[in-house]
């Protein structure tokens, strides 16, 4: 069984979108992962296929109804489905490479895409949805956020990235941002490739990359740097 993503959305037509391109799309074609989308309106029971209602207590916007979303979740992921149930939300726990790796090592994920003002809290609680944020900004809906999460996970699945595109050295994998990259030409607009990279001394190259990664992390991400120093004093 390959890693399975089930997405509950009001806009199923936007999938796979960018997930159909390049290595992620190839993984979909070769069966390294699978994607099924579920149209939330299919679970509405009135003739207008209503999925939202006005917020209790008043205020702007509309709220996704708990009964409709619960019916969708129960259909897509019955009680014995072992996959984590996620809901994309700016209030959620920020997504990290660590969580991405955990998700990639599991059987898949059920991903709910929010819309409008939000989702009735009772269905989040009743179905144990894990709220996941992709950053401290507000999108119009959860679809792009779900794609971000899925792309980050799928590229870690076995057989998705070729040997040329290993992820072991990448930003966050060692708790550091990645070192800078260079390629030919040797001189670009009077800027040379750092001499150490063309010295042929692999030990020196490794040490230079490491010091660049540490300096970048300390300068740009004091939060990551502090955590890195805590774990590897
Ligand atoms: N009223 C909500 C708030 O202030 O937290 C924002 C709702 S937003 C307009 C509609 C949907 O977009 C959310 O339910 C969520 O699914 C998605 N969304 C928006 N920003 C997001 C983010 N940073 N991370 C993950 N999902 C996001």
What digits encode the pLDDT tens for the residues 148-171? 999 999 999 999 997 656 677 788
What are 44-53's contacts with CB under 8 Å, separation 24+?
44/68, 51/10, 52/115, 52/116
Which pLDDT score, from 0 to 100, does residue 165 have? 61
The finding on whether 141 has its CB within 6 A of some atom of ligand 1 is yes
Of 220, 152, 153, 149, nearest to 180 by C-alpha is 220
Give all domains of the chain, ordered by start, each with its CATH number: 3-154 (3.40.1280.10), 169-231 (1.10.1270.20)
Q: Determine the distance from the C-alpha atom of residue 211 to the mean position of all C-alpha atoms in its chain, rounded to a whole number.
A: 28
pTM: 0.96
Ligand 1, atom 6, residue with closest C-alpha: 117
Which pLDDT score, from 0 to 100, does residue 147 have? 99
Tell me how far the alpha carbon of residue 194 lies from the centroid of ligand 1, in angstroms: 43
Tell me how far the alpha carbon of residue 158 lies from the centroid of ligand 1, in angstroms: 31
Tell me how far the alpha carbon of residue 93 lies from the centroid of ligand 1, in angstroms: 12
Nearest-atom number in ligand 1 for the CA of 119 is 14
The answer to whether 6 touches 110, Cβ cutoff 8 Å, is: yes
The answer to whether 131 touches 89, Cβ cutoff 8 Å, is: yes
88, 109, 146, 152, best to mutate for ligand 1 pocket (most atoms within 8 Å of CB):
88
The finding on whether 142 has its CB within 6 A of some atom of ligand 1 is yes
Tell me the mean pLDDT in the region 115-125. 97
Rounded Cα distance between 54 and 64, Å, is: 9
What digits encode the pLDDT tens for the residues 51-109? 999 999 999 999 999 999 999 999 999 999 999 999 999 999 999 999 999 999 999 99
Tell me the mean pLDDT in the region 35-62. 98
């Amino acid at each position: 069984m390959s890693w399975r993503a089930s997405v509950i959305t009001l806009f199923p037509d936007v999938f796979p979108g960018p997930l159909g391109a390049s290595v992620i799309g190839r993984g979909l074609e070769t069966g390294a992962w699978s994607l099924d989308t579920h149209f939330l309106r299919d679970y509405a029971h009135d003739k207008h296929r209503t999925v939202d209602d006005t917020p209790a207590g008043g205020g702007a916007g509309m709220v996704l109804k708990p009964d409709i979303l619960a019916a969708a979740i129960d259909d897509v992921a019955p009680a014995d489905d072992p996959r984590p149930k996620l809901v994309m939300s700016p209030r959620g726990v920020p997504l990290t490479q660590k969580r991405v790796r955990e998700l990639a090592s599991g059987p898949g994920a059920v991903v709910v895409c929010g819309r409008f003002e939000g989702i009735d809290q009772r269905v989040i609680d009743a179905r144990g949805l894990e709220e996941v944020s992709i950053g401290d900004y507000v999108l119009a809906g959860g679809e792009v956020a779900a794609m971000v999460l899925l792309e980050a996970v799928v590229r870690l699945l076995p057989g998705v990235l070729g040997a040329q595109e290993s992820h072991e050295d990448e930003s966050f994998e060692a708790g550091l941002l990645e070192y800078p990259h260079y390629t030919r030409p040797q001189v670009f607009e009077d800027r040379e490739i750092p001499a150490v990279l063309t010295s042929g001394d692999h030990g020196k190259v490794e040490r230079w990359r490491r010091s660049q990664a540490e300096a970048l992390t300390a300068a740009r991400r004091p939060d990551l740097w502090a955590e890195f120093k805590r774990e590897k004093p």
